[in-house]
Amino acid sequence: MINLTKRHQAREFALQVLFQTEFVKDIDIKNSLDYFKGAIDSSNEVYKFAEFLVRGVSGKTSEIDKHIQSYSQNWSLSRMALVDLNILRMAVFEMLYSNNEVPPKATINEAVELAKQYSTQDSSAFINGILDQIFKNM
């Protein structure tokens, strides 16, 4: 089982890849993973967990976005910062589609920490509120 530090590194890596695929519309997932691969050994568990998150989010984006939209009162997805939206997408994917490999509260905590690290001061509370509501209604 992958430890907490490695999971955090994988989530950071996955966030970078997801953000790039949102921002650069003509890049696909494989190219984006390859672009960032130099920072992480592709044979290790960090890369594998990041790839799992990226491919999972990419494969279920419309379903995940419906969950996010239904709990983000007065905020359309198009108004959300891309960093926040991708943090939410990763967390929702983990909570709903990863067979509870990670406890949902740990996933929420990680999402909040990523928001503190990569987004605005208010983003962590925004992300926590949405994810908490999704968790309570799972």
Place of tokens 């939206």: 85
Q: What ranges in the chain are assigned the alpha helix state H?
A: 4-23, 29-37, 45-59, 61-71, 82-97, 104-118, 123-136
What is the three-class DSSP state of 28?
coil
- The percentage of the chain sitting over the pLDDT mark of 70, rounded to a whole number, equals 88
Q: Whole-angstrom Cα distance, residue 41 to residue 44?
A: 6
Looking at residue 58, its amino acid is S
Tens of pLDDT, residues 8-17: 988 999 998 8
- Domain ranges for the chain, please list them: 4-136
> Tell me: domain 4-136, CATH 3.90.110.10, correct?
no
| Residues 8-28, mean pLDDT to the nearest whole number | 84
Contact 83, 19 (CB under 8 A): yes
What's the mean pLDDT when you consider all of the chain?
88
Tens of pLDDT, residues 68-120: 999 998 889 999 999 999 999 999 999 999 887 889 999 999 999 999 999 99
Pick the more confident residue, 114 or 2: 114
Contact 92, 66 (CB under 8 A): no
